[in-house]
Each structure stands twice: as structure tokens, then as C-alpha cells.
């Protein structure tokens, strides 16, 4: 850490900063510069009492050097993490594709979608039984009935279930059905929920919050890992910007940055980012090209009558065409690991 | 609602849109323009099947006319809501000031702060027993012990307690102590928690999420009100922007806009927005000048050793000076209600 | 256009709106809805007096239906524009690669870079003679001397020159050397300059401003085209967001959206978006995967001693590797045109 | 400056960094920490070769300590700058109010507005002769004719003229009429124009760009001051965020921050931020409460027929009411200078 003094800071003020650092058990190193003095702090393993130093007279700024994440860091574990979900790997050589409707709908429709996506070689199925909606008057998901249908999808087709957990109180029920527990963007900093999934034995897919920095996304992973659950998968699904041509701005640089900073896998969600069907394929391709380990996509046998998010949902035919493109792409081009 | 067709949409496509609208039970009104046709939908009381229409051939765009919020709207209830918290009103003529430390600290320190702020005429006390932190390694609050201390503050001083509820599972315990339940910015779209506080009989203070639109903030209030709890207070605490000179950008226009759109009170939180003590007083003044019904502020007898957020916490002396300014301000100037 | 009335608007207010619309020479169509009335305006070819209507009593909102751009629109010209730059096409089947140093440096170094990139098959050379810098104390470019060196690059190697024009007063001198005039992000809404390049006979590459919407980018193109210069190329170079892991957030969805809205070509600039060399290749791949017609990239024989932007500049070797990947990518995968 | 090494950086890498720093003529100070080493650079007066160091093997990050601005800084000149504009002070004890129409309209209308605002005690008149519009088809201002009308306003009423200069080529003509040259938000980083007004003898009002940081705003001022023109006034007019309830988000914290960082005056522009008339008064009050030295506001005798920006323009009566409030406010409450 570096404590930057004002241009007109007195020697007494610099000394007081040094004394406070020493009192905290660390080493101060005053560095007189041409314009101003800075005091380096060494010997600290964890966070220093930053706030206290910031308030001493003559202090202008405090600059952190260390990063706050540990367990998720590629500096801590230099080998990429491969997550085994009932025999299928997320974070391995193969592109992971997770597909299905936005919400679990009636049993018939859901089973029909499941059958179609499975027939295309997909082995991960998505679908929300509990839906976080902006309006309390919008469809909130089929809830328990939705879980029952997902269990049937899981048992009758060879599909691994990825579904959102919205609430501490329904976590147990969701975890009985889910192969991967999804934390949605709105709950990325719901620390109570993060702590609780950190004690589960199911992999956790964490979607980046709409205004979360990459560091905050990594820290959400740190919450889960520090609870003992090391099977964490990240997902970039678009951030909130001034842009009004899409629902969210897919930040492909976050995908590349997470690959350079963490050993954990990261997926892209082009559907929620695009918000419009015709933009889903280019965003899917871009996410993969930026280094994503896979994609989470909304697919439906009849998008026009989907119960939610229909406008951004691919038809089976559109999805099949995209899968083939991605396959061709992946054959032509295996992304080299981004070096730091 | 308005369905905008492509420039080259055929008459058949326009007719298909009209037929779909009729099938939904509404009235279509095709409006041929100079460049393109638009179809108005009338007769709908709630949301129309927007996604379905968006997917019909020849449709370029769907434009909503109605706003999704009802119970919070000033159009629904034209009289301002005054919320009685054990004899003190939020949303009335008097400016509400809620002050206290970021986190509840030891009993001695917390009681000392409580005594000092009460002696300045403040009747609402803030302090977190449960803290949502970006890092799992940061201080997470005193939890149950914190609640016990807050109960003592409430019982020994004439102070109303405003404290954050982080989790469905601790809601009951928090509600026993709190006079006002705070939903933090990170949980503004935690719909499970919003639904649960909607069934409580305690007023709820909802902080705007760092990337929530004003409409989304109002919808969070709608979640609580539609659950039966009509005592909702909003709070602007700064949004996330590219700006790097403060922790968050205090959006005073949101305060003015909420006053123009909703009958519910709204406060400002200059401490979290500023992130630096010397910017707290100007932001406090600006929030009040924009029409805020009150302020939520971090105050401590010894900010330099505060357990969290010390750098943005006012000392008792600074706080007292600010209170006097705000009093003078309020006497000189009662904000006229913003008209729509 | 649609004029939305307040819930409690009177019939007189609706009539007054209709009368005002009629007075402007258009047709009003009052649509009484379940909650409120909206008045559709038809018969207008250009912008209606929006501000005047917005101010009539009882009016809540004005909603535009038409888009403000015309000449750049894919609805106006449905065929993709191919721009011929001395025998090489931008916007055709081949990926356009524009490479070179951030600033033009000494003649020797610049010629050496030019030779190397040309030897890799590149036919467009970039390099700034005039540099827009945040600080007046930073290197502002070699100016006239830089232009002289660029002319030499152009004449001695078979390279087309893409260079920024910063100022109306130097436009003539720049246009003598440049094959493509670049308008930088900071000047995207410098309308005086846009009008002036609109009267030039050189193609114009317009970089998206850091906080420009896609519509504003298109309108900048409209400025140039309406001046008579129809050879416009757009470039996405990253927008300003709260993200702090890169210099700018490359908005690949803008690339896909521009392809769906306009007939003009669009390139990606991964160097300025990334700000860090190791993130340039993944962003380059993502831009191409999203549908970019080409890339603008900073390349240097010795990035470590580059006079500006060295940290985001690729070495010749890194650039060569990336070119090969992109070639393989392009062979495997020709992007289907995004349909609206 | 601080060069942060990777956790696994070797001693050789640290030595190479130190050697490079020495080669640049500065002093390296290696600080081995618990996790990683950092190398402090001292002895530098200006910017160090940051890019070069960033590219050395083992280097993870470069952290700047010094701020890039000098002439505008309150550390350089600790006394507040008062700018005399023909006998009236901007940056003094009195609140500066600059009022008038968005665009200069016909002579009759403009003179009528001028007379009315002057009769309310206002001594600064605003009005654009050259207008920067998003669309080339929108009204671009009366240009030379507008300047002639402004000269008449200046000569017949005791009004100081504040008007925008859009272009290097019209600067001379504008400067003949203007008492204060305005640089608009879109041109805040038009460095050619900044350099040119830096050589003028007229005060310059610089509006913050919609996505400019406070530091970039200060650097725009630095451009003008380093050219020799020390009479610079800043203006906060709202930034671009995801918020959709206003045209731009008025960042009152920028006003407070500029007062804490610079000796130069700063105004607020509530009209462009609000975009809607009913939000102008609360934003005007908030800007003043945050410490603004004055306000720039759009006022018209007949906003309903204003040629541009009518929806955000106050009528004379609304403006008069606001002026009285601001006067009362200013009497009750003189903002204490924000301390650093």
C-alpha cells in the first residue's frame, strides 16, 4: 500500500503516518519525491487499516497494490479448473452449451424443448422455475411445479440441469433438482445467498451483476470458494451502460480478463445481452472468440408464444445453425490462453 | 402500446399484426404514416403480449405507453404519504435525519454515538448489525450481538432504529429490533426478500441499486406495496458511472423525479455517494435542495477508528455544523412540490 | 409520433393537442385507452414540433416512431456499400486490416514498421501525425513532419494511409497525404469538422465517441453523407463504462447492430479498447466474430519504446500470429448478414 | 510512480526494472512486500516512461501518484480565481446567473428576452448563434446573423454575452461579439479548438463532456491555461449514464470536487441535465447547494415556440420565481469552502 501525502505536508505529518503504520505492525518507507512524499507500507499480509491512514492530516490518497481475491486467482492456482458435472466437463477443451427456455413452462412444452436440444448433442439444459422479474405482476415462474418438471427432464433425457436459485429458503429444494445452481445477476452481491451456496456440494454458476466490476465478480466467486465450494463458474451476460440498442452491453473484454486473472471457467450469455433475436448469433460468436468456455442460451420450440423473453429466444432451427457455426469455428481455431 | 412496422412491410403483415392484437382481446388501430405504418393497441388494462407481437414478420419495434407501476404512483394516489415511525413522521414537513455509525460496534462505542446524536435532536439511528461486504474476508457485522446493542440503543435513548436486513433467514430477528427495515442497494432486486418484507408490519427503506433505473426503484417499492406493506421509503445513494472522483455518483435528479412520479418519501445518502468525508456536506445540501425528505448519514465519535467506512464518516462536530446549516436552509426555503 | 396524455387529462386538453397537430399540417388520431388517451400523429415526413406538443397542458410524454437517419440507413439503401480505396475494398469479402504505430515517429522507425506490416500482406497503414492527447504536456504528434513521413510510406510501399484529422485548419494538408481521413472518438460530434470532411473527396473513417449511442454514430455518418461524401466507414473502439479492467469497453453489439441498421462498413479497434497488449488478440477475434468488416490495430517493431500507447501495441510477431488466426477464422466462417 | 511486480517475479526482473528507471534518470526504490515487490520511482518532475516500464517482464501494474494537472490546481494556486467580465465577477461572492434562449432566434424575440432577463437583474446573456446538433437536418443556428443580434443585445442592454464557439474558423467572428467563449460538451476534447481559445483574450467557459472524468475536465482547462489564457470557467451540465428519467445525470459531486481540486470557478447547467422543465428548479437548487459559483439556464418569453430545447426552457415567470428562491437560499447559507 502507498500513502500519498499532500504537496505541502509537513515532516511531522509524514512522521505521524509512519508511526501509525508501525503501530499497525507494518513497515513504513517514506519516499520523498520531487513534488510530494509517499509512504510505502510493507509487511502486510492482509488489508491494512486503510480508512484510518486516509484520515491522518496531510494525507491525500491511499493506493492499494494487492488484489483482494485469492482463491479464485490464477496467481494462487496456475492450473485451469475443470468442473465435472455428472461426467461432462465445464472448462475443458469442449465448448459447453447450456440451452433451454427462459422459464420452465408446461410439462409437455418443456419436455419437447428438452428432447429437441438433446437431439442436437446438447447435454446441459437451462430453464427457470423461479424467475426474478422487475414487476411483481409479471410471471414469477412455476416454482415447485417447475422443479418437478426439471427433474423429469433430467431423468428422462441425459441432460444436466442449470437453474436459478433466488432465495435462501428454496435453495434446498432447488439443489435437489439442479446439477448446477445459478446465481442471477440481480443476486450477484446477495452475500447471504452466496454464503449458503458456498456450503452446497453443487457447482455454482455466478452471473455478473449489471454494474459489477470484474473484481466484484471475482469476489462473489471468492465468497463461494471461501465457504468450501470450489466448483465455481462465471458468466458474462452484459452490463448496464448508456447504450440503448441492446438490452445489456455484452462485455467480451470481461471474458478475456477473467481468463487472464482466474483459473475458473467463464461462459457468455448472448441472449440476455442482446435482448433481440437477430443479435444473439453475432454475440454468441463474439463471446466464444473472446475465449468463453461456453454459452448459456435461450432456445424454444415456439419463441413466439414463450412465457417470457420470447423476443431474444432462438428457435430450434436458428439454434442448430448457430451450433454448427460454433463447431466449425472451434475446429478452425482453439483460442490460445491469454497471458498476463 | 404501439407496434411500428418496417418501411417495406406489406399490407398482409399489417393485417396479421391487427389479427394477433384482436386475438389477445384488444383493439388494433392501423395508422398509415408517410414513411411507415404503426398499429396502436387500445383496450388493454395490463401488459399486452409484447414479445409475441415483436416476433411477427414486418414488425420493427414495440413502444410501450403505460408505466408498469401502480401502487407507488402519484397518479394512483395524489396525496403525499407520511409514514409514522413511533410518533415521528417521514415524508412530512420536517426533514428526517437518520444518523449513526456504518456498523454497530462495541456496546460502549455505539451507546456513546447514540447519546451524542440524540443530544443533537436526531430521533432516527442507523447502524448495521449485518453488513454486505464485497469481500468475504471483510468484517461482516456483529450480527445477533449487534441486534442486542441496537435494542439497547432503542430502549435507553428515544431513538428509532433503521438497520439493514440482508437475508430472509434473519428477517424475523432484525424486525424485532428495527423500527425501519433497510433493503440495501445490493439487494434492491432480491425479489425473495422484497416479497418477504412486503408481508412485514414495519416500514421499509429501499436503497436504489447502483445500476437501477428510477423505474426499477419504483418497481421494488411496488413489490413491497403489492405484498400489503404500504409503508415504503426510497433512498438515493449514488449510482455507478464512469466517474472516479467519488465512490458513487449521487443522482439528485432521481430525487426530484421520484417526487414527481410517486407519493412516497425519498431520502438521500450522501455518505455512500461521496466516499470521502469532505464531499459529504455539499452532497447532503444538494440532496435536500433537490427535494429529499431527509438524509441518511454516517456519523461517529471517532471516525478514524470506525470499523468500516471511516473515510466517509462525519465526526460529531462536523455533523452538528451540517445539521445547523440544513436547519437554516430549510427555514429559508421550503421546496415547492415538483409538478409533472 | 405519439402524444401520450396524463391519466386525468380532460377532453379539452386532448382537443387542444389535436388542434395543435392540425395547425402544424399533420393528422391527429386520438386513441382513448383503458387508462389514458394517446394521440397519434400521421402525415409528417420530417420531425414534428415535438417540443411544442410536449408543453401543452395534460401531455405526459412524446414518443418518436421514426428514426432520424436516412442516408446511412439500410432501409434507404439495401445493398451493402463497398468502398474502393485505390483498388482495395473496405466492406467487401476480404477482412480489412489497418495497422501501424499509434503516432508517426522518426522516418527510419516509421518506414521500418511500414515495411514489416506490408510484408505480411497488409495494405492499409495507420499512424497519427496529429495526436489528440488528454494532457497538453503530452506528445502532440510530429505534425507537418509526420505528414511528410506518411507520404513517403504511401509512395515507397504499396500502402494506403489512414490518419486522423484533428482540425479544420489542417484538413487540407492531411487530405493531401491521407487515403482515408480518420475522425477520432473525441471529435465524433465536432460538427464543424464533420461538415468539412463531408465536402472532401476522401473516404472518412468515423470512430464512435466514448459515450455516443449507436444512433449518434449513425448521425455523424449522416453529417458526412449529407455533405455529399458518401464514402463513410464506422469504427467501434470501446465505450466508457464503470469497468476498470480495460481502457474502454469494446461494444461488439454495436458492430452487429450497425450491420443490421446501415449499409456502411464498420471496423473494430481492439487496441484502444483493450489498453493492454494481452487483451488485444481476444478482442480482435471478438470484433470479427461479431461481424466487423475489419480491424484497426496498433503495431510496432519495438512497442517498448513506442512514443505513445506502447502498452497496447502489438509487436510484429504477435501481429503476425493474430493475422494468421484471423485468416483461419475467416476461412472457416463467413458471417451471415444479420437480418433485422 | 509505483511499479508493481508479479507474485512470481524474479530478482532479475526486479533489477531490470530498477535499471530501466535509473536509465531514465530517476531513482528506483525496491520495496519487497509479503506477497510481491513494488518499485517506487522518485526524482521525476514530469511523466515517467510509463509504457516502457509496463512492458518489462514480471511487471503487473503501474500506479501513478502525481496528478497530471498543474495550472488549474488548487495546490499550485491556493487563492480562488475571480474572473472579471466587463466589471462583473464570476467566482466571487455573488451567484453568477447566465440566462437566455437556447438559440438566438429572430431579432425581435431575442431582444424581448434580453430585456426581460435584464429587468430581473441578470447581467449575463446566453444564446447560441452556432448550434451543435445531433442531426444535420436540425436547425444549426442563425450563424453570422445570430452574432449580429447578440452584438445588439450586448450594446443596447447592459448584458455580457456568453455564446458557443463551434469551430476554429468562426472563432474570430464569435470572439468579436462574445464576452465569454463557450466550449460545448461535444467539443471538450477538441484540442485544436482548446489550443486556439487558449491564445484568445476572452474568458472561456468549458462544459464538461458527457463522458469526461473530472480529471479530463481539468485537463481541458489546462490546455487553455497553458496557452496563456488564464480566465477559465468550468461548467457541469450532466453526464451520460444508464439513467433514462432525465436527458443527462447532473453530477453535483463534480461541482464539489472541482471546488476542492481547482482554484477556478464552476457553474451548473440544470437545463441540459434535466431535459424537462419541471426538473430544472430542483437541479438548479442542488447545483448551488453543492457549491456552484453560478448557473447557466435556458429562459424564453415563449418556451412553447422556442426554436430548440423548448421542453427544458423556463418561462420568464418560472425563472423569476427560481431567482428569488436562489437569492433567499444564498442569504441563508454561504457555502463553506470544501477542504481537501
Confidence of residue B332 (pLDDT cuts 50, 70, 90): low
The beta-carbon neighbor of A29 closest among D4, D31, D340 is D31
| Residue A318: partners with Cβ closer than 8 Å, 6 or more residues away | A277, A280, A281
* CA gap C110, A205 in Å, rounded: 48
The beta-carbon neighbor of C190 closest among D187, D303, D309 is D187
Per residue in C267-282, pLDDT tens?
Answer: 999 999 999 999 999 9
- Most B CBs within 10 Å, among C65, C251, C261, to test the B interface: C65
Q: What's the Rg (C-alpha) of chain B?
A: 23
Tell me which chain C residue has its CA closest to the CA of residue B28. C31
CA dihedral B295, B296, B301, B304 (to 10 degrees): -110
Residue range B17-38: mean pLDDT, rounded: 82
Contact B29 C31 (CB under 8 A): yes
Closest CA relative to residue C61, chosen from B63, D299, B309: B63
Tell me which chain A residue has its CA closest to the CA of residue D260. A60
Residue B338 has pLDDT above 50, yes or no: no
Q: What secondary structure letter does DSSP report for C142? A: -
Tell me which chain D residue has its CA closest to the CA of residue A32. D42
Q: Which of A79-88, D35-44, D244-253 has the lowest mean pLDDT?
A: D35-44
Interface check for B67 against chain A (CB to CB < 8 A): the answer is no
Residue D340 has pLDDT above 70, yes or no: no
Instruction: Report which secondary-structure segment, H or E, holds A295.
Output: strand A294-300
Per residue in D167-179, pLDDT tens?
Answer: 999 999 999 999 9
The beta-carbon neighbor of D65 closest among A2, A66, A240 is A2
Q: Would you kindly state where each structural domain of chain C is located, as residue ranges?
A: 2-63, 83-332
Interface check for C216 against chain D (CB to CB < 8 A): the answer is yes
Q: What sections of chain C are H helices per DSSP? A: 11-23, 50-54, 107-119, 144-156, 171-177, 191-197, 214-226, 252-261, 270-274, 280-289, 316-332
The beta-carbon neighbor of D42 closest among A6, A31, A75 is A31
Per residue in A235-287, pLDDT tens?
Answer: 999 999 999 999 999 999 999 999 999 999 999 999 999 999 999 999 999 99
Other beta carbons within 10 angstroms of residue B262's beta carbon come to 26
The beta-carbon neighbor of B52 closest among A167, A192, A305 is A305
* CA gap A136, B75 in Å, rounded: 19
Predicted confidence at residue A337, as pLDDT, reads 47
Instruction: Report which secondary-structure segment, H or E, holds D260.
Output: helix D252-261
Which residues from chain D sit within 8 angstroms of residue C140, using beta carbons? 191
Interface check for C29 against chain B (CB to CB < 8 A): the answer is yes
Grid cell 420530417 — which residue? C46
pLDDT tens digit at each of 340 positions of chain A = 788 888 888 999 999 999 988 888 888 888 777 677 888 887 665 555 777 888 888 888 887 767 788 899 998 898 999 999 999 999 999 999 999 999 999 999 999 999 999 999 999 999 999 999 888 988 889 999 999 999 999 999 999 999 999 999 999 999 999 999 999 999 999 999 999 999 999 999 999 999 999 999 999 999 999 999 999 999 999 999 999 999 999 999 999 999 999 999 999 999 999 999 999 999 999 999 999 999 999 999 998 888 888 889 999 999 999 999 898 877 766 654 444 4
Which residues from chain A sit within 8 angstroms of residue D7, using beta carbons? 75
Cα separations (Å) of D190 from A206, C152, C167, D223? 42, 28, 8, 10
Q: Which residues in B136-201 belong to E strands, given as ranges?
A: 160-164, 180-183
Which residues from chain B sit within 8 angstroms of residue A216, using beta carbons? 134
Phi-psi bin for A269: left (phi > 0), alpha (psi -120 to 50), beta?
beta
Per residue in C294-308, pLDDT tens?
Answer: 999 999 999 888 888
Residue D301 has pLDDT above 50, yes or no: yes
Contact map slice: B 87-126 vs A, CB within 8 A: none
Q: How far is D334 from chain B (nearest CA, A)?
A: 9
Contact B253 D246 (CB under 8 A): yes
Interface check for B246 against chain A (CB to CB < 8 A): the answer is no
Fold of the C2-63 domain: Alpha-Beta Plaits (3.30.70)
DSSP β-ladder status, B37-42 and B2-5? antiparallel
Contact A137 B47 (CB under 8 A): yes
Which residues from chain D sit within 8 angstroms of residue A37, using beta carbons? none
Answering whether pTM is above 0.95, one says no
Residue D47 has pLDDT above 90, yes or no: no
Residue range B311-335: mean pLDDT, rounded: 85
The beta-carbon neighbor of D333 closest among B251, B255, B329 is B329
Name the burial class of residue C77, with classes exposed (0-12), middle (13-18) and buried (19+) by CB atoms within 10 angstroms of its CB. Answer: middle
Interface check for B246 against chain D (CB to CB < 8 A): the answer is yes
Per residue in C80-138, pLDDT tens?
Answer: 999 999 999 999 999 999 999 999 999 999 999 999 999 999 999 999 999 998 889 88
Residues B237 and B273 sit within 8 Å (Cβ to Cβ): yes
Predicted confidence at residue A227, as pLDDT, reads 93
| Residue B85: partners with Cβ closer than 8 Å, 6 or more residues away | B124, B160, B179, B180, B203
Give the bridge partners for D39, in sequence order.
D3, D30
Predicted confidence at residue D339, as pLDDT, reads 41
* CA gap C266, A245 in Å, rounded: 16
Which residues from chain C sit within 8 angstroms of residue A289, using beta carbons? 282, 285-286, 288-289, 329
D73 or B75: which carries more pLDDT confidence? D73
Predicted confidence at residue C333, as pLDDT, reads 62
Which residues from chain C sit within 8 angstroms of residue D210, using beta carbons? 211
- Distance, CA of C121 to chain centre: 25
Q: Which of A324-333, B238-247, C182-191, D273-282 has the lowest mean pLDDT?
A: A324-333
Per residue in D75-127, pLDDT tens?
Answer: 889 899 999 999 999 999 999 999 999 999 999 999 999 999 999 999 999 99
Contact D242 B291 (CB under 8 A): no
Domains A2-63 and A83-332 equal at CATH topology level: no
Predicted confidence at residue B230, as pLDDT, reads 96
Give the bridge partners for A272, in sequence order.
none
Size of interface C-D (CB pairs under 8 A): 127
Q: How far is C199 from chain B (nearest CA, A)?
A: 29
The beta-carbon neighbor of A240 closest among D7, D45, D242 is D242
Contact map slice: D 315-334 vs A, CB within 8 A: none
Tell me which chain C residue has its CA closest to the CA of residue A276. C340
Residue range B253-264: mean pLDDT, rounded: 97
Q: What SS3 state is found at A220?
A: helix
Residues C306 and C333 sit within 8 Å (Cβ to Cβ): no
Contact A252 C250 (CB under 8 A): yes
Tell me which chain D residue has its CA closest to the CA of residue B334. D325
Contact B51 A195 (CB under 8 A): no
Residues B239 and B273 sit within 8 Å (Cβ to Cβ): no
User: What top-level class would CATH report for the domain B83-332?
Assistant: alpha beta
Predicted confidence at residue B43, as pLDDT, reads 67
Confidence of residue D333 (pLDDT cuts 50, 70, 90): low
Predicted confidence at residue B48, as pLDDT, reads 58
Contact A36 D240 (CB under 8 A): no
Supply the mean pLDDT for chain B: 91
Predicted confidence at residue A334, as pLDDT, reads 60
Residue range C25-41: mean pLDDT, rounded: 79
* CA gap A39, A33 in Å, rounded: 10
List of chains touching D (3+ CB pairs within 8 A): A, B, C
Contact B211 A216 (CB under 8 A): no
The beta-carbon neighbor of D7 closest among A29, A38, A75 is A75
Which residues from chain C sit within 8 angstroms of residue D197, using beta carbons? none
Contact A55 B311 (CB under 8 A): yes
Which residues from chain D sit within 8 angstroms of residue C167, using beta carbons? 168, 192-193
Q: How far is A296 from chain B (nearest CA, A)?
A: 20
Phi-psi bin for B231: left (phi > 0), alpha (psi -120 to 50), beta?
beta
Predicted confidence at residue D337, as pLDDT, reads 47
- List the grid coordinates of B322: 451540517
DSSP β-ladder status, D27-32 and D37-42? antiparallel
* CA gap B143, B126 in Å, rounded: 15
Give the phi and the psi of residue A320 in degrees, each rounded to 5. Answer: -60, -45
Contact C333 A340 (CB under 8 A): no
ipTM for this model: 0.89
Contact C251 A244 (CB under 8 A): no
Predicted confidence at residue C337, as pLDDT, reads 47
Contact D33 A2 (CB under 8 A): no
Contact C168 D166 (CB under 8 A): no
Predicted confidence at residue A338, as pLDDT, reads 44
The beta-carbon neighbor of D191 closest among C133, C169, C309 is C133
* CA gap D141, D138 in Å, rounded: 9
Cα separations (Å) of D87 from D80, D232, D292? 18, 16, 20
Amino acid at each position: 500500500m502507498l500513502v500519498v501525502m499532500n504537496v505541502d505536508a509537513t515532516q511531522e505529518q509524514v512522521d505521524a503516518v509512519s508511526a501509525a503504520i508501525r503501530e499497525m505492525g507494518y513497515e513504513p518507507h517514506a519516499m520523498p519525491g520531487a513534488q510530494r512524499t509517499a509512504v510505502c507500507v510493507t509487511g502486510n499480509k492482509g488489508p491494512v487499516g486503510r480508512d484510518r491512514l486516509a484520515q491522518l492530516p496531510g494525507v491525500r490518497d491511499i493506493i492499494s497494490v494487492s488484489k483482494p481475491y485469492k482463491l479464485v486467482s490464477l496467481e494462487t492456482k496456475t492450473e485451469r479448473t475443470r468442473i465435472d458435472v455428472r461426467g461432462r466437463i465445464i472448462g475443458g477443451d469442449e465448448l459447453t452449451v447450456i440451452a433451454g427456455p427462459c422459464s420452465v413452462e408446461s410439462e409437455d412444452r418443456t419436455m419437447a424443448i428438452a428432447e429437441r436440444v438433446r437431439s442436437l448433442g446438447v447435454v446441459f439444459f437451462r430453464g427457470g422455475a423461479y424467475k426474478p422479474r422487475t414487476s411483481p405482476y409479471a410471471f414469477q415462474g412455476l416454482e415447485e411445479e417447475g422443479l418437478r418438471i426439471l427433474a423429469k427432464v433430467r431423468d428422462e433425457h441425459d441432460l444436466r440441469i442449470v437453474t436459478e436459485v433466488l432465495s435462501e429458503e428454496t435453495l434446498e429444494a432447488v439443489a435437489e433438482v439442479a446439477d448446477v445452481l445459478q446465481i442471477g445477476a440481480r443476486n450477484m452481491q446477495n452475500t447471504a445467498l452466496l454464503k449458503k451456496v458456498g456450503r452446497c456440494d453443487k457447482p455454482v454458476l455466478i452471473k455478473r451483476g449489471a454494474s459489477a466490476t470484474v473484481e466484484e465478480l471475482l469476489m462473489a466467486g471468492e465468497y463461494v470458494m471461501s465457504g468450501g465450494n470450489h466448483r465455481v463458474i462465471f458468466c458474462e451476460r452484459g452490463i448496464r451502460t448508456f447504450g440503448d440498442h441492446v438490452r445489456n452491453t455484452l462485455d467480451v473484454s470481461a471474458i478475456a480478463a477473467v481468463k487472464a486473472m482466474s483459473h475458473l471457467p467463464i461462459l457468455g450469455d448472448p441472449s440476455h445481452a442482446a435482448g433481440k433475436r437477430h443479435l444473439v448469433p453475432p454475440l454468441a460468436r463474439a463471446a466464444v472468440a473472446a475465449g468463453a468456455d461456453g454459452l448459456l442460451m435461450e432456445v424454444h420450440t415456439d419463441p413466439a408464444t414463450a412465457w417470457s423473453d420470447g423476443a431474444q429466444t432462438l428457435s430450434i432451427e436458428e439454434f442448430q445453425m448457430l451450433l454448427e457455426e460454433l463447431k466449425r469455428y472451434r475446429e478452425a481455431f482453439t483460442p490460445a490462453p491469454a497471458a498476463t
